[in-house]
């Protein structure tokens, strides 16, 4: 997207008018202040409003209020909705079926089982949307964000032909396929058997890629000092949802299976809307597991809104 002249808060308020619900207004404010990209804004509106039709009506009302020329960020979001209308409908349906984190309770195994069933269903409906609502079901959009993540891992010097990597919550194997040319070994685990089945099919023919179904409770299937990088891309919120004991176990398990000097990277830590709370919790967990906290809640991406945490094993 081309660079856009910044707008002051007063002008944005006047141009937006009375946008309801308030959560939709917050999404538009984040977009117009360049805190999120149009594709992330659109996925958030689909979640907030419940469907593509409702989102289309909101954007039309905002456009009428805004006048001409329409802000290019709003225009890009409207074009995305128009060009991916069917995908947006599928994403909206999937989001409506997503277990509500605020209403979930019970022992960890029940929570893991609930998410396992959800992802087993979702991946059969649309593979791209099942791992990233912001993809709008479009392989091209998902690929762009995946490459952005890979580029950042390379910039952090975490990849290399001698490196062995493990992703917690690998989904359809998009990261393994993208990392394959840059690492010696790319392994992925997931609680969903159907996700793992899909990942194996999509990565067939890549000799340095492998997948397995996990319990969601730990990394017990792997020996100590096995990997150079353990990471989670937009999947750790599900670990977090399973409870503090499961989260703490994953930090200690990551430290166990990492080689000295290896890193544990989490891109998105929890569902809660508080980076400061996430930072405080990650700081405490890192210290307890013996990690050096290298990055605590940065936002290095442009297309995606992922919040990055990096922990290094001494």
- 65: pLDDT confidence band, cut at 50, 70 and 90? confident
What's the rounded Cα separation, in Å, for the pair 106 and 169? 21
Per-residue model confidence (pLDDT) at position 5: 56
pLDDT at 1: 46
Task: Tell whether omega for the bond before 21 is within 30 degrees of 0, i.e. cis.
Answer: yes
46-82 exposure pattern, b = at least 16 Cβ within 10 A, e = fewer? bbbbebbeebbebbeebeeebeeebbebbbbbbebbe
pLDDT for 301 equals: 97
Predicted pLDDT of residue 12: 79
- Kindly report, residue by residue over 26-52, the tens digit of the pLDDT: 999 999 989 999 999 999 999 999 999
pLDDT of residue 2: 46
Name the percent of the chain lying above pLDDT 70. Answer: 97
The ranges assigned to domains in the chain are 9-94, 139-313
Residue corresponding to tokens 């937006």: 16
pLDDT of residue 20: 87
In this prediction the pTM is 0.94
Q: 288-300: string of b/e by CB count within 10 Å (b at 16+)?
A: ebebebbbbbeeb
Q: pLDDT digits over 186-245, tens only?
A: 999 999 999 999 999 999 999 999 999 999 999 999 999 999 999 999 999 999 999 999
In this predicted structure, what is the pLDDT of residue 3?
Answer: 52
Q: What percent of the chain has pLDDT over 90?
A: 88
pLDDT digits (tens, 9 = 90+) for 288-313: 999 999 999 999 999 999 999 999 99
Tens-digit pLDDT profile for residues 115-149: 999 999 999 999 999 999 999 999 999 999 999 99
Please indicate whether residue 233 or residue 101 has the higher confidence score (pLDDT).
Answer: 233
* 212 compared with 9, residue with greater pLDDT: 212
Cα–Cα distance, 240 to 74 (Å, whole number): 33
Q: C-alpha angle with apex 224: 249 to 283, nearest 5 degrees?
A: 40
Rounded to whole angstroms, how far apart are CA atoms 32 and 302? 14
Arithmetic mean of pLDDT, 54-80: 92
Classify residue 134 by its DSSP letter.
Answer: G
CATH 3.40.50.150 matches 139-313: yes
Of 281, 236, 291, 301, which is closest to residue 260 (Cα–Cα)? Answer: 291
Average of per-residue pLDDT values in the chain: 94
Find out whether 183 and 160 touch, Cβ atoms under 8 Å: yes
CA 128 to chain centre: 12
Q: What is the mean pLDDT of residues 158-174?
A: 98
Mean pLDDT, residues 62-86 taken together: 92
- The three-point CA angle 130-136-137 to 5° equals 55
């Amino acid at each position: 997207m081309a660079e856009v002249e910044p707008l002051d808060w007063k002008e944005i308020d006047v141009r937006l008018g009375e946008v309801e619900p308030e959560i939709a207004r917050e999404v538009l404010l984040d977009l117009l202040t360049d805190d999120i990209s149009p594709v992330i804004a659109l996925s958030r509106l689909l979640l907030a409003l419940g469907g593509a039709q409702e989102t289309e009506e909101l954007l039309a009302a905002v456009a009428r209020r805004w006048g001409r020329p329409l802000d290019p960020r709003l225009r890009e979001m409207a074009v995305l909705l128009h060009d991916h209308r069917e995908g947006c409908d599928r994403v909206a349906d999937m989001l409506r079926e997503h277990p509500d984190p605020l209403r979930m309770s019970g022992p960890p195994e029940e929570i893991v089982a609930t998410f396992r069933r959800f992802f087993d269903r979702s991946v059969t409906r649309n593979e791209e949307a099942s791992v990233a609502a912001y993809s709008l079901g479009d392989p091209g959009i998902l690929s762009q964000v995946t490459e952005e993540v890979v580029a950042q891992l390379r910039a952090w010097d975490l990849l290399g032909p001698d490196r062995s990597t493990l992703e917690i919550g690998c989904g359809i194997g998009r990261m393994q396929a993208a990392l394959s040319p840059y690492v010696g070994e790319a392994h992925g685990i997931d609680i969903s058997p159907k996700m793992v089945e899909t990942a194996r099919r999509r990565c067939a023919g890549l000799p340095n890629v492998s997948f397995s179904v996990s319990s969601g409770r730990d990394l017990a299937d792997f020996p100590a000092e096995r990997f150079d990088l353990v990471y989670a891309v937009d999947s750790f919120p599900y670990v977090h949802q399973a409870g503090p004991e499961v989260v703490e176990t994953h930090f200690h398990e990551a430290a166990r299976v990492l080689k000295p000097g290896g890193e544990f990277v989490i891109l998105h830590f929890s569902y809660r809307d508080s980076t400061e709370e996430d930072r405080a919790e990650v700081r405490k967990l890192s210290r307890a597991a013996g990690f050096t906290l290298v990055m605590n809640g940065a936002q290095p991406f442009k297309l995606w809104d992922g919040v990055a945490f990096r922990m290094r094993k001494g």
